[in-house]
Amino acid sequence: MEHLPVEVIGNILSHLGSARDVVTASATCKKWREAWRCHLHTLSFNSCDWPLYHELTPNRLEILITQTIFQTKALQCLTIFMDDVHEFSAAPVIAWLMYTRDSLRQLHYNVRTTPNFNIIEKCGRQKLEVLTLARNSITGVEPSYQKFPCLKSLSLSFVSISALDLSLLLSACPRLETLSMVSPEIAVSDSQASMELSSSSLKDFSVESFGLDKFILEADLLENLHLKDCTFEVFELIGKGTLKVLKVDDVSVIHLDIGENTENLEIVDVSNFTIMWPKFYHMISKASKLRRLRLWGVVFDDEDEVVDLETISVCFPQLIHLSLSYDLRDGVLNYGLQGLSLLVNVVVLELGWTSITDLFSVWVAGLLERCPNLKKLVIYGFVSEVKTHEECQIFAKFTEFILQLGRKYMHVKVEFEYE
């Protein structure tokens, strides 16, 4: 070890991550202390790494972090994640940001700070590539001089920002590829509660726990769109047909528009969502490259609607992974299984129920016949703690059905996931 270059030792210390482990390891010898001071590039203060963080007062913690950071000279990645009980004073936080602004490439910070100050004004903008910010506010964005020429990833959780400032912030990040927002507090200026965001470089966008009347996202290069636990009257994506992944989870939206050019869609994952099947199908019908389709816990707007397997098999010939879970009704079930086209490329089939009936076995059998090259079947179900005699009878019949199924499809691996 004594022959290792000091730069290599600095890299080793950086991979430890935890500030406490780095400080302990650097005490090994003079050479390791030099590596810590001059060649350490990653430092993390995380309350999950060391229980003693919880016992320190905010003031004592600020001193500890200050002493540690100020002994380094070339930090590139700084993480400060503390639990909700901590609240830092603005002065030491500004000092950390100013001290590291010439070298920092990644900043992850989630501690409430008082009084509020504009973090994006104090942090180093010229080299910053990743910014993860939580429980703070962003105000007064001036894109004319607050530019982030290298920023590729921006994550905002429980951050207060106006719609205008968010729009200006995106315009100040010409290379931004990933934008993630969780429970943002976004102030809008108009009475209709609408927001428009635009980015010519954005490839991945996700938003969770958020609501607006109207949300318009213009992103020509967007490949991944994930909406979770959101409420919109209108959500509109304006792009150029580059979308590959669409995930919608527990979203209430009256009008969802992802554009007409959906030829590049490869994954559609929709759960806990009310579907108008004709309209939804029309939205994704051109996705001939679709490889995974998941409709889980969906509710159909019209009770006579159902997932039409004939249409799916014809329009999505490259589909390899199909996941379906929704309420089954006798007449609707028969319609859904009509047709002769096979899902020849489907190798994984996931099926689920929330309330099991005898129809479920019929549905499973019908789907298996449509998937001649199936390799894996996964059954998801909900089992109540108190079961009626009728439910017990249904489970007994279903168990017998699965045994018969196993004899007929010996090449298919069957798994069960119950809750």
Q: How do residues 161-176 score in pLDDT, each as one tens digit?
A: 999 999 999 999 999 9
The token duo for 249 is 């989870």
User: According to the model, what pLDDT value does residue 333 have?
Assistant: 63
> CA 109, CA 57: separation in Å to the nearest integer?
18
Residue 137 has what DSSP assignment?
B
C-alpha radius of gyration, the chain, whole number: 27
pLDDT, mean of residues 189-200? 84
Band of residue 329 on the pLDDT scale cut at 50, 70, 90:
low
Nearest partner of 44 among 85, 80, 6, 92, judged by Cα: 80
> CA 287, CA 316: separation in Å to the nearest integer?
7
Among 66-70, 124-128, 179-183, which stretch is predicted with the lowest mean pLDDT?
124-128
SS3 label, residue 321: strand
pLDDT tens per residue, range 346-391: 999 999 887 777 788 888 888 899 999 999 999 998 877 767 788 7
The token duo for 99 is 């001290």
Which of 313 and 330 is assigned the larger pLDDT? 313
pLDDT at position 13 over 90: no
- What residues have CB less than 8 Å from 14, skipping those under 6 apart? 22, 40, 41, 42, 43, 77
Nearest partner of 291 among 328, 345, 223, judged by Cα: 345
Percent of the chain exceeding pLDDT 90 equals 51
Q: Is the pTM of this model over 0.85?
A: yes
> CA 331, CA 293: separation in Å to the nearest integer?
24
- Angular region, 272: left φ>0, alpha ψ -120 to 50, beta rest: left
User: According to the model, what pLDDT value does residue 7 have?
Assistant: 81
Position 4: which residue type? L
